[in-house]
Structure 1
Amino acid sequence: MSIRDVDIGHFPLIEVAGTAYQRGRLHGGAAPERVARSARLYRRQLTRQGLGGDRLTRLALGMRSVIERFDSAYLDEMQGIADGAGVPLADVILINCRTEMMFGQSELKMVCRELEDGCTGLVVLPEHAASGGLMHALNWDWLQECADTGIVLRMRRDGADQPDLLLFTEAGALGRHGLNSAGLSMSVNFLSSDRDYRQLADVPLALVRRKMLEAPDMDSAMKVLWRTRRFCSSNLMLTQAGIDRGGQPLGDAVNLECAPDEIFWQAPQHGLLVHANHWLCPVARSKLRELGLADNPDSLYRQRRVETVLQQALYRGSGKVDWACIKNVLAGAFLHAGGVLRKPGADGQHATVATTLMDVAAGVMWIARKPCQSQVFAEYRL
């Protein structure tokens, strides 16, 4: 299949299957303009900070052995994307490993931080969901250009222990957030601490997230995370949904605040999980120095606003949270200082790129592209 690279009102769906290389080739071949645009975006960002040309290419290709040690199939998939899109392998590695590939470049630590993104994420467990099933949703706040590089991948995989995947990602990347046919879902939020960029990482975190989403259950996914070291902090919201023998919906969730060398977990409170872009776990706050709020103080009121609206929904009417409530809170503003829905700022670059809603047990995602402009959601199904 092919995709015309125009300003369409939704993110294109690309279906891939076969070997890792074949899946990558289908991905790249379906969206070559978007893959090239993704690579140009990050090359341009790094060139502005003095890292470009041959040096950037060498750093990217130097990551091949790291990727291959973690999972050689991921390198095959990246090569397939590159071949399908007609771009160098170094460009695809850059898209997937844009932070970790610069380890050891001490003068570029601030560049790494500037290339991280924000989010506001939430989970509602089935007993508090009007739909009856686990609800997982998030705003992805990042460079507005990514509205034209985003895609949805529907990935068919072989084997009973290899769930199919429905992933939102930037073209050229192996995955960002999404769900699988085993009832697992995951989203990511930016975090920052004084432990970042100080130790070797086993593997880029973006690939760890993809590996977690391939897991058959939440237990297996968390084991992947605990067995790897990370280059910088990040927050992961992980859920598991299903149906019991009596046909009743089941679901659980955990929030994982990840420092490079330690993971701090949080369980749902009153059936809810909410996370913006600052550390919440009391243990983490006693051990780490928060660095992200200096650049993103709005995280404080985004966190509080979403919590308040969801809690209010539980104490009125049906006592349940519905999708209309979630859409409303993720589209919310806060006086003149921005809000949960991040509008383009003074730099004209950063905003909420996409709002994603996931009915995990049903294997459905609804995504609004450029939600500051339109709250029209396109539906994607496993």
Structure 2
Amino acid sequence: MHDLKSIRDNPDGFDAGLSRRGLEPRAAQILDLDARRRAAQTAFQEMQARRNDASKQIGALKKSGGDASALMDEVAGLKERIPAVEEEDKALGVEIEAILASIPNLPAEDVPEGPDESANVELRVWGTPKSFDFPALDHDVLGAQLGLMDFDGAAKLSGARFVVLKGQLARLQRAIGQFMLDLQTDEHGYTEIDPPLMVKDGAAFGTGQLPKFGEDLFKTNTGHWLIPTAEVPLTNLLGDEIVDEKQLPIRMTALTPCFRSEAGAAGKDTRGMIRQHQFHKVEMVSIAHPDRSDEEHARMTQCAETVLQKLGLAYRVIVLCTGDMGFSARKTHDIEVWLPGQQRFREISSVSNCGDFQARRMKARFKSEGEKGTRFVHTLNGSGLAVGRALIAVMENYQRADGSIEVPSVLRPYMGGVEVIG
């Protein structure tokens, strides 16, 4: 959510930020509605004051035996007009709020400008992309040959974009998730949370999924939304809260199933496990002081990178351009892991600094010692990592010529000592 006062103070700056996002100017429209609303509020206050003053005069005139009929007619007229002005104020307020809620976050100054992913900028590469002396297979072929990955069975149960994992592959996915969760809690200081998987409208609004992206979510017949990421419940734990500055940063993590309709992904990644309706993910959320959120963003990116480093998987980090960022983000780092079967890097984590954009929507604030007022916190979120895509990366990077899969050493304790899946 955007701050109306900041738009009043710097409308050109607001429109410049929208322009960098490839959007049309909106400040003039917003400020026109704001001026009309403030005029209605002023009229409402003036009419209320006049009605109160006239009522006192009527009482005085009646007490003295004077003629109060003119004043009584005036008060009657004011009583008829005041509800209309009050309704205009409310209606304009709702319209302004709806417009502000539909506008994405403004990009940080150091975000590269561009229309789409072609303008993203590579920051660094870690490791050497794996190559083999035999033809590298995609994960879905490897899984099918092992008899441990069943897309047909999943389609029979649930339709497209689902998978049934069996035996050691199911255990490998579980091992990856547990390894990531232990790393983020034990080494990186995140507090593990086990959140609800269904949330109400207010929570989905707070993190920016509603009202604009409802079609990307699954809705239950009770009115709840299945979470597309644990970012939604974790971040909203601070909704309508005022925390002490000394509590910041607050770092939370969760390993949960996630559910996405993939409404805009028709025809994309229809094979394999890359893009599914249901998947597991370890999510990291930080609630930070505004002065230190950029520092927290860099730290969170490193926490995600460490997972891939310990797994021995080559990856690159890119900063998304203005046209490729998500709705709530002011700056995003994508981490892309190397997949030998596809001979390309694919996204496995997005780490975003949302500034105070989500905090304003959910009224998440902090108070500093000795200060009367409160300030909005900054919220950050990132995958640490997507478990299904990590499974894909392990399968493809650790495949052998005979179709078996070596288990990375850091995962073997979670696999009961199993070294090879064959």
* TM-score normalised by structure 2 residue count: 0.23
Max radius of gyration: which structure? Answer: 2
Greater helix fraction, Structure 1 or Structure 2: 2
Greater strand fraction, Structure 1 or Structure 2: 1
* TM-score normalised by structure 1 residue count: 0.24
